[in-house]
A and B are shown apart, each in its own frame.
Chain A
Amino acid sequence: MTIVESPSSTEAPAPSADRPLRREWGVANVFSHGFLLLWALLTTLPLLWVVLSSFKDDNEILTDPWGLPGALRFENWQRAWTEAHIGRYFLNSIIVVSGSLSLTMLFGATAAYVFARYDFRFKQVFYYLFVGGMMFPVFLALVPLFFVVRNAGLFGTWRGLILVYAAYSLPFTVFFLTAFFRTLPQTVAEAALIDGCGHFRLFFRVMLPMARPGLISVAIFNFLGQWNQFILPQVLMQGDDSRWVLAQGLSALAVSQGYQGDFSGLFAGLTIAMLPVLGVYVLFQRQIQSGLTAGQLK
């Protein structure tokens, strides 16, 4: 995926009023294109190299890192999929994240809606309790969390992971969605209530559909965060490797590759893990970029 972009020459017929200014910008353009291209190469080359290396055999990888694969060896992929269990870990990740994302969105939306739309006692206290969680480093909670989860009988289970993922996604979700629900027009809700719509129906039938853009943004944000989560499963999902999530499986593969020297298997595993995410990203680039940056611009 390289971008071929010839640095535009200075005599390009650009309408310009100011000659010296134009020359200055032209020179800067050659430089800027150079740097832009350099960074584009820096971001794509390692990824491209991983994909290419997934087709090589170990000998090619070790002796000629820059070379192209001699053949398309899909058996590397197959080995990573079955022997290194990347396939299973992938499935596990899907199970865990679909559970945790649903829970996050349900709880996040309901709590945020209450904070944005209703008044009750100690509302501010509860709100800051929730949102304050964004400030804390997960590390601080790690040791006690381990015991909380173990004592609840959830250690090493998907249920435990789902609950914990959702709990740690709530602060940002509530923060973001509260701000979003506040921007929705008050009049629609009032009209619905006057027409005899109950509070619950109002939420599910009127407010939730109206909040769709915000829900999508925060869902994308949470999906990537939870899909890429590593510290929580590493602490809460030790032992039985049949229930590991993808991030754990990959890091284990990287470690075991060091002993077995199965480079091609590692590259194939990385490729399998990487391509679907990149594919989805390329398809939904605009939504994903705005979803991830929207939270920070608030």
Chain B
Amino acid sequence: MRHGKYPLIITFLVPPLILYGVFVLSPYLQAFQISTTDWLGYSTDANSVGLDNFVQLFKDDYVWNAIKNNAILLVLVPVLTITLGLFFATMLNMGGRGGRAGVVGVRGTGAYRLVYFFPQVLSVVIIAVIWQQVYHPNAGILNAALEPFGVNGPSWLGDPRTAFWCVLAVMVWSNVGFYVVLFGAAMQAIPKDIYEAVLLDGASRAVMLRRITIPLLWDTVQVAWIYLAIAALDGFILVQLMTNGGPNFSSDVIGLRMYNTAFASDTKFGYASAIGVVMFFLTLSVAVLALRASRRDRIEFS
């Protein structure tokens, strides 16, 4: 590869670079700059106000309320999703009896895996609208299922005590299937002789899971953790479509706060960008922290 490589490099690299620079890089860079102005949208004048937006943001109760909700999501969504995902993946890949040292899946593994993945291929919009109907106080199946037990279900998404938790449940619901498949693929990569050996040593199923499977899956769990944490810091689409942050801001999240600040009631673009910048640093630090906290020695199968 000596002569004549530059025409190719230029024709192959420049168009993607321009596209990426114009629509991705430049908006990100501008966002940082806009966040230090008092720009109110469609007018042209934007005055630099330094870090005023950030000071104001720091005192904004609505923002803190949204951050609090994101913090709850940040803790619960990864924990619940990964726990359920690991549990189901274990059942599907080594819950079965017989076979080679008992490390085969239960019967019907293929069907389960097919079905569990359904939410992953549906758009978040469809998921949000479906669950909005499931939670519907009169027409929804949830309250209709509670009725025979004499329980008069609440108006789930219309009640500030339940709305946020309903959204959280949907978030977990829509993610679990993906991680069942992801963890399942990682489990298949673990050599079977390891299990045979510990089974001969008389290890129980629980010990096997805790001492063998999870340590060997740790890399994958770590990746899952980061992705879920980033997803939990977002959560915008589900919240916007299911509750629009309500009732009474009880299910507000930081992404929705930013969106509404910029595109809904008022067009405070400067302030909205400041919220975006805060989100960016939150996401970044969560990713770094997750990497740090879950760092362990890497195990490679030779």
Chain A residues with a Cβ under 8 A of chain B = 1, 3, 5, 8, 12, 14-16, 18, 21-22, 24-26, 28-29, 32-33, 35-36, 39-40, 42-47, 49-50, 53, 61-62, 64-66, 107-108, 110-111, 113-114, 117-118, 120, 126, 129-130, 133, 135-137, 139-145, 148-149, 152, 163-164, 166-168, 170-171, 174, 189-190, 193, 198-200, 203, 224, 227-228, 230-231, 235, 246-247, 250-251, 253-254, 263, 266-267, 270, 273-274, 277-278, 281-282, 285, 288-290, 292-293, 296-297
Closest to B127 in A: A46
B233 proximity list for chain A (CB < 8 A): 137
B31 proximity list for chain A (CB < 8 A): 140-141, 143-144
Q: Does B293 contact A (CB under 8 A)?
A: no
Known: A114-B8, A137-B279, A250-B125. 12 other contacts (CB 8 A): A3-B115, A18-B202, A22-B97, A35-B88, A114-B13, A136-B28, A140-B31, A163-B23, A170-B24, A228-B125, A293-B182, A293-B185
Closest to A108 in B: B16
Q: Does B30 contact A (CB under 8 A)?
A: yes
Given contacts A14-B97, A39-B176, A46-B134, contact A126 B4 (CB under 8 A): no
Proximity bits, B270-294, A CB within 8 Å = 1, else 0: 0011001101100110010000000
- CB contacts under 8 Å to A, within B7-24, are 7-9, 11-13, 15-17, 19-20, 22-24
| Interface of A, helix, strand, loop or mixed by DSSP | helix
Closest to B280 in A: A140
Q: Does B160 contact A (CB under 8 A)?
A: no
6 A-B contacts, Cβ less than 8 Å apart? Answer: A114-B9, A137-B280, A140-B273, A235-B263, A278-B118, A293-B185
Q: Does A32 contact B141, Cβ atoms closer than 8 Å?
A: no
Q: Does B299 contact A (CB under 8 A)?
A: no
Q: Tally A-B pairs: CB < 8 A.
A: 291
